[in-house]
Structure 1
């Protein structure tokens, strides 16, 4: 089966985190969502020192990794719970190489993105999950998802196909970079 988007998630509510206001409460939205250079139209990042910007325009997380966490924690992990914009299926994000490029959606309306970095989780994730120091545990697994740069704008929707169109020779994977952080 080919890789695909199972959910496109935007901020539902700005909430108070342990130290500041945060936009981690992301939830799936129906239909097509426009993607611009700085991310999804209708989404928000509160602390742009660490989130957002051209190299962190989108955050992608694999359903397979969420399913792993669901078993590990004994609770449901719905799309967007970890604050991701794009929930994928059939794409091994932990093994994605920095610099890898993905085409999401069709060639005329879809987007082209580049894997730029692993997520560096902070205490806000622990607060969201209600588990003290969870962000350290999350990082140690390497199952942290990827920040993406938007190379070509367009729109995306749940069900869109994801194709890896470029994979660099060598380099570090998301999992390797995360476990070293």
Structure 2
């Protein structure tokens, strides 16, 4: 398991985002040399955990719980075959393109050491949005990405800061005692909301937006006695 590339993007004004600023940093490209990774705090100008990376829509991106976004190269390869187009590292707006890591099977709260210094903790998965769809230019992309079994990729918080670079090994150093994976949480938050109460087993590690949704639906489900699965939604994304 290793890090293929660290990817960062600079803010650009585009016509396909609904961010209040009209700008996005989704166009991420591999960065040469060591890159500093540290927690950006709850928001603000430096909302990405990756040095040199811009976050433009602080409603849904950045901050301590969503400091870094990782995607597996193997899943990009699956999408290459399905879409019939080349997808370079960073094409999905991910900060880290990983090889050999079961990103979507990772438990919420699982910790990864990358290189000698950095430790990251899984907080959830990406919910696709109009900016992502507009950037890729694929028809029906939000629904297609949400329903795919390729998985959403993982959002991460920074536990131990430091520098990383392409080629660094990735090691799982902690797995919490529950069974809520990134893929399961994504399914619960989008197409099968009756599963949301079960995700609260990972409440101590979940990113705040998804945790709020899970708690809200758990309360609703309890008050109704037995709820049906909620409708999928075009939600917050990257």
TM-score range, shorter chain: over 0.9
Q: 1:116 aligns with which of 120, 123, 143?
A: 123
Secondary structure of 2:177's counterpart equals: coil
Secondary structure of 1:172's counterpart equals: coil
Counterpart in 1 of 2:178? Answer: 170
- Structure 1 stretches of 5 or more lacking a match? none
Q: Hey, what's the Cα distance between the residues in 1 that align with 2:110 and 2:82?
A: 29
- Higher mean displacement: 16-25 or 66-75: 16-25
Deviation (angstroms), 1:13: 4.9
Check whether the contact 1:15–1:23 (CA below 8 A) recurs between aligned residues.
no
The superposition leaves residues 115-141 of structure 1 with CA deviations (integer Å, 9 ceiling, x where unpaired) of 001111101111111112202211212
Which runs of structure 2 are paired with 1:27-176 in the superposition (5 Å)? 27-38=29-40, 39-106=49-116, 110-142=117-149, 143-176=151-184
Point out the structure with the larger strand share. Answer: 1
- Higher mean displacement: 157-166 or 12-21: 12-21
Specify the structure having the higher radius of gyration (Cα).
Answer: 2
Q: Hey, what's the Cα distance between the residues in 1 that align with 2:105 and 2:162?
A: 26
Check whether the contact 2:108–2:180 (CA below 8 A) recurs between aligned residues.
yes
The superposition leaves residues 46-70 of structure 1 with CA deviations (integer Å, 9 ceiling, x where unpaired) of 0011000000000000001000100
Matched, 1:11 2:9: yes
TM-score for the superposition, normalised by structure 2: 0.71
Point out the structure with the larger helix share. Answer: 2
Secondary structure of 2:85's counterpart equals: coil
Check whether the contact 1:140–1:178 (CA below 8 A) recurs between aligned residues.
no
Q: CA RMSD in A?
A: 1.2
- Structure 2 stretches of 5 or more lacking a match? 41-48, 191-238
> CA, structure 1 residues 45+165, in 2 after alignment: closer, same or farther (shift >3 Å)?
same
> CA, structure 1 residues 169+74, in 2 after alignment: closer, same or farther (shift >3 Å)?
same
Greater relative CO, 1 or 2 (CA 8 Å, sep 6+): 1
TM-score for the superposition, normalised by structure 1: 0.93
Which 4+ runs in 1 deviate beyond 4 A? none
- Higher mean displacement: 117-126 or 164-173: 164-173
Q: Hey, what's the Cα distance between the residues in 2 that align with 1:6 and 1:149?
A: 19
